[in-house]
């Protein structure tokens, strides 16, 4: 509960501005790109000059407060570049493997899209998604949750949602949570009963996930969190290929079996050239209610070792907490104290802010090159 958020830097790279040993003059802002930013030690330790220029542009540290976390590209590349970057996100950014990203719906303006993935079922991925959404909302950001776990949805239950999602001629309306008014779309909000099974083949599931992106009226959001199902099948593949993801948060647990399968998800993300923000080890320990001793119920923590082996940051280690289980069962996950996730959320906000800034510059430069 009071465990301090842990974090590690990615391993050193071979030379250049993103190496583990920066040049004497420091990292070069010109050499920094959105494709390499998430693995750059200079970004993680806060010394990146692009991040610093973003702070100056905002007149603050850019990691908290209300409203969008995005640095305006106009601060660096002019109003035309900012407009081009926004237009690019609305169209869909044709990147991973030549597959065009799906455009946002005409009523949506979503700044950042983050997927939460585990590869292994039962590690608490959905509860981590709900806690991240709660923490971001409390920090003043507008956040929604897209439940892409079509055959095993649990997000509506955690938020205590009893109403069904409504549709009208322009699309589907998400259901908002009672406390923080977080918009959620899940297949369980469309079924007659919450325990009715979804018996669909992969392509149909993939199309449903796409429709949750294109047909749901999310409105203006700083962050949309996508709760992925376990495994490396159709739904995760669809999200990585079709949605304009800023990156992925990986969730694991200390068990060797879970770690083995989670590494598959990490390798999939790297093969798909999708940013990995870092690893959250869930159920890392339990605290004895009588003496306060930490009990490693599922074995010793492996988060640090996995992060180092896969060259991604360790964002946090979370406890196995009966209070969280009780609140999720009661539909009151928003009542849980998310202080132990504050460091992870701050890191994710800072990184999405910086990568978004770089993409705006790159898209602005591309538009300028076309105009010549």
- For residue 14, pLDDT over 70 is answered with no
What is the average pLDDT across 264-289?
94
366 vs 139 pLDDT, higher one: 139
**pLDDT of the residue at 227:** 97
**pTM for this entry:** 0.76
Per-residue pLDDT at 43: 53
Provide CATH code, domain 105-341: 3.40.50.300
User: pLDDT for 230-239, tens place per residue?
Assistant: 999 899 999 9
**Residue 134, pLDDT score:** 98
Q: Is the pLDDT of residue 102 over 90?
A: yes
User: What is the pLDDT, as a whole number, of residue 42?
Assistant: 58
Choose the weakest-confidence range: 16-25, 104-113, 304-313, 333-342.
Answer: 16-25
Asked if residue 3 has pLDDT above 60, the reply is no
Average of per-residue pLDDT across 252-263: 91
- Sorted by where each begins, the domain ranges of the chain are 105-341
pLDDT (mean) for 320-343: 95
Select the highest-mean-pLDDT range: 175-179, 259-263, 302-306. Answer: 175-179
Three-state SS annotation for the chain: CCCCCCCCCCCCCCCCCCCCCCCCCCCCCCCCCCCCHHHCHHHHCCCCHHHHHHHHHHCCCCCCCCCCCCCCCHHHHCHHHHHHHHHHHHHCCCCHHHCCCCCCCCCCEEEEEEEEECCCCCCCHHHHHHHHHHHHHHCCCCEEEEECCCCCCCHHHHCCCCCCCEEECCEEECEECCCCCCEEECHHHCCCCCCCCCCCCHHHHHHHHHHHHHCECCCEEEEEEEECCCCCCHHHHHHHHHCCCCEEEEEECCCHHHHHHHHHHHHHHHHCCCCEEEEEECCCCEECCCCCCEECCCCCCCHHHHHHHHCCCEEEECCCCHHHHHHHHCCCHHHCCCHHHHHHHHHHHHHHHHHHHHHHHHHHHHHHHHHC
Confidence of residue 159 (pLDDT cuts 50, 70, 90): very high
User: Which of residues 77 and 313 earns the better pLDDT score?
Assistant: 313
The whole-number pLDDT of residue 33 equals: 61
More confident residue, 7 or 333: 333
Instruction: Give the mean model confidence (pLDDT) for residues 254-269.
Output: 92
């Amino acid at each position: 509960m009071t465990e301090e958020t842990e974090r590690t830097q990615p391993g050193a790279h071979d030379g250049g501005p993103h190496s583990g040993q920066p040049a004497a003059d420091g990292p070069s802002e010109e050499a920094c790109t959105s494709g390499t930013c998430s693995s750059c030690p200079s970004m993680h330790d806060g010394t990146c000059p692009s991040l610093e220029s973003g702070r100056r542009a905002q007149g603050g540290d850019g990691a908290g407060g209300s409203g969008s976390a995005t640095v305006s590209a106009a601060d660096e590349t002019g109003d035309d570049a900012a407009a081009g970057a926004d237009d690019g996100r609305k169209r869909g950014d044709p990147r991973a493997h030549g597959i065009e990203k799906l455009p946002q719906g005409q009523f949506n303006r979503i700044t950042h899209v983050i997927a939460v993935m585990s590869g292994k079922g039962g590690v608490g991925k959905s509860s981590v998604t709900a806690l991240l959404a709660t923490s971001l909302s409390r920090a003043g950001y507008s956040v929604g949750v897209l439940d892409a776990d079509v055959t095993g949805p649990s997000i509506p239950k955690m938020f205590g949602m009893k109403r069904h999602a409504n549709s009208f001629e322009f699309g589907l309306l998400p259901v908002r949570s009672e406390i923080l008014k977080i918009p959620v779309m899940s297949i369980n909000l469309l079924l007659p009963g919450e325990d009715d099974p979804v018996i669909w083949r992969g392509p149909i599931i993939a199309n449903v996930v796409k429709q949750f992106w294109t047909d749901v009226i999310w409105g203006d959001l700083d962050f949309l969190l996508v709760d992925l199902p376990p495994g490396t099948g159709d739904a995760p593949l669809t999200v990585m290929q079709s949605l304009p993801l800023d990156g992925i948060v990986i969730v694991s647990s200390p068990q060797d079996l879970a770690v083995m399968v989670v590494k598959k998800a990490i390798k999939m993300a790297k093969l798909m050239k999708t940013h990995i923000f870092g690893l959250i080890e869930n159920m890392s320990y339990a605290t004895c209610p009588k003496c306060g001793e930490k009990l490693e119920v599922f074995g010793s923590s492996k988060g640090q070792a996995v992060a180092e082996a896969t060259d991604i940051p360790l964002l946090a280690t979370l406890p196995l907490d009966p209070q969280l289980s009780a609140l999720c069962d009661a539909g009151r996950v928003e009542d849980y104290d998310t202080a132990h996730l504050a460091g992870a959320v701050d890191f994710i906000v800072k990184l999405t802010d910086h990568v978004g800034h770089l993409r705006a510059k790159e898209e602005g430069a591309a538009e300028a090159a076309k105009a010549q």
